Amino acid sequence: MAKYFDVHPENPQRRAINQVVDLVRADALIAYPTDSCFALGCQLGNRDGIDRIRSIRHLDDKHHFTLVCQDFAQLGQFVHIDNNVFRAIKASTPGSYTFILPATKEVPRRLLHPKKKTVGVRIPNHPVVQALLAELGEPLLSSTLLLPDQEEPMTQGWEIKERLDHVVDAVIDSGECGTEPTTVIDFSLAEPEIVRYGAGDPSLFE
């Protein structure tokens, strides 16, 4: 049965954040709100957590997982960024964007796109996620909480708890968040390509 945390959306309670981070460090899989929609998250090296995300969402090995980072410095440890890309990403973070970039050796091989050796990264603009990442001290491995039988992500913490009670370990509820996943831009190609239109303004990259 999943633990349920009711967390203030702007001033998250430190005790609750610490409890969630302790669970993540103990290989828990959590459902948490972001600045776009709810996501599933676990620690970077949590092989079981990765398999559980794949199982919950029916994902194949070509799916791009996302490393949710606290800041630009942390993001830069996990992906290769040239100067032009640096400026474009810096200008649009934190925000509702996911960037696909060539991964560094810091990223476990099983998280990489099998052919392109890329990974998704993002810096969310959400106080609860920022508090989690600050306490954890490393990125959360994440994927949008979009179930195979649904067209839109769930928006209510209690609904997620009810639906996923036996497949996740914790649910963070900080009120309703959006239903629109991030805008995804692939920077691993010669020209940036918008591969999903979502919550972030795509005009910055068109």
Q: CATH code at 46?
A: 3.90.870.10
As a whole number, mean pLDDT of residues 55-62 equals 89
d(CA 64, CA 91): 23
Kindly tell me if the per-residue pLDDT of 204 is higher than 90: no
d(CA 166, CA 101): 34
- Say what percent of the chain tops pLDDT 90: 78
- The 10s digit of each residue's pLDDT in 88-138 is 999 999 999 999 999 999 998 888 888 889 999 999 999 999 999 999 999
Kindly tell me if the per-residue pLDDT of 193 is higher than 90: yes
d(CA 66, CA 86): 18
What is the pLDDT, as a whole number, of residue 129? Answer: 97
Average of per-residue pLDDT values in the chain: 93
Q: How many domains does the chain have?
A: 1
Which domain does 195 fall in, by range?
3-205
As a whole number, mean pLDDT of residues 135-154 equals 92
What is the pLDDT, as a whole number, of residue 123? Answer: 97
Kindly tell me if the per-residue pLDDT of 62 is higher than 80: no
What is the pLDDT, as a whole number, of residue 113? Answer: 82
Q: What is the pTM of this model?
A: 0.94
What is the pLDDT, as a whole number, of residue 24? Answer: 98
The terminus-to-terminus CA distance of the chain in angstroms comes to 44
What is the pLDDT, as a whole number, of residue 154? Answer: 83
Output the six-digit token pair for 42: 């676990």
pLDDT band at 147 (very low <50, low <70, confident <90, very high): very high
Kindly tell me if the per-residue pLDDT of 48 is higher than 90: yes
pLDDT band at 155 (very low <50, low <70, confident <90, very high): confident
Q: Which residues contact 64 (CB under 8 A, 6 or more apart)?
A: 98, 100, 113, 118, 119, 120, 184
What is the pLDDT, as a whole number, of residue 153? Answer: 85
Kindly tell me if the per-residue pLDDT of 15 is higher than 90: yes
